[in-house]
Amino acid sequence: MNNYDVSVSGSHRRACFLFGWVLCAVFLFQEPTAWSARVEVYYSPEDAPLDRVIGLYERAQRYIFVSVYGLTSPRAVEALVAAKKRGLDVRFITDQERIKEGKQRIALHTLRLAGIPVLVNQHDGLMHLKQVIIDDEVNTSGSMNHTTSGNRYNDERMDIITDRTITVKAREKFLSMWSDRARYRAWNDD
């Protein structure tokens, strides 16, 4: 039978106690980087999320990159055109199936006339994102397209995320799609 002396001196016990408190303090008071994003959640029709997005367009300073499946809201189109006229870099990506719809074609034609480049997918899948990226600071995501129905009638969700790290990642994805000529092509009223 082994006998081990498990007695701990008072100074050793105090050192362990102090170390434990320091370790707890490090974890308790550490800046939670993974939780620093601010997320606002809006539902339609009650919250009118597209109105919030149009407000973001009006406050944008450098760029607005939009990738949405549907764009038929005249107010959204007007806000994007106004941003372009203020000198912002405005770009738009949508799905090839949606360009066959009359209201979408009119919206895209208006963007093009304002000098806003439009890309459509040419791959077999859908370009089904509903995402806006603004100034490396804010991005939106959710189920809502830029349509009047999506804002007023449908059950939709839109999250407005204010976080530089997340927004930069969204921008990088948008720009990789923008430069991928195998999967996306310029829309020319075809």
Q: Cα(89)–Cα(169) distance, rounded to whole angstroms?
A: 18
Quick one: tokens of 190?
A: 């075809």
Helices in 121-185 by DSSP H: which ranges?
148-152, 164-179
CATH fold, domain 36-186, is: Endonuclease; Chain A (3.30.870)
3-state secondary structure of 100: helix
Reported pTM = 0.81
Per-residue pLDDT of the chain (190 residues; tens, 9 = 90+): 555 555 556 665 666 566 565 555 555 555 555 567 899 999 999 999 999 999 999 999 999 999 999 999 999 999 999 999 999 999 999 999 988 899 999 999 999 999 999 999 999 999 999 999 999 999 999 999 998 888 889 999 999 999 999 999 999 999 999 999 999 999 987 6
Q: Cα(18)–Cα(67) distance, rounded to whole angstroms?
A: 53
Strands (DSSP E) contained in the chain are 38-44, 63-68, 89-94, 118-121, 130-134, 138-142, 156-162, 184-186
Strands (DSSP E) contained in 19-135 are 38-44, 63-68, 89-94, 118-121, 130-134
Rounded to 10 deg, the angle between the 74-85 and 49-59 helix axes is 10
